Amino acid sequence: MKKPNKDILEHDRKRQIQLKLVMLEDKLSDHGFTDAEIAVKLDEARKTREAAAAQDYK
């Protein structure tokens, strides 16, 4: 039985984060937030999600 490839697992983790951020961006846009507000909220969400994913990865 092969061990999972770390690079593939890392790529999948990043892809999942990006998917959630795109969904959040659409939701914020639908609610009438400006591009600047959306950028700030996405940056905060990315940092939070990456930190949480890194914690789970260890």
pLDDT tens across 22-42, in order? 999 999 999 999 999 999 999
Nearest to 9 by CA among 49, 53, 51: 53
Each as own residue / partner, the long-range contacts of residues 8-17 (CB below 8 Å, 24 or more positions apart, any chain) are 13/53, 13/57, 16/53, 17/46, 17/49, 17/50, 17/53
Per-residue model confidence as pLDDT tens digits over 8-18: 988 999 999 99
Q: Where are the domains of the chain?
A: 6-57
Q: Around Cβ 5, how many Cβ atoms within 10 Å?
A: 9
pLDDT for position 4: 85
pLDDT for position 57: 61
Nearest to 39 by CA among 27, 50, 25: 25
pTM above 0.85, yes or no: no
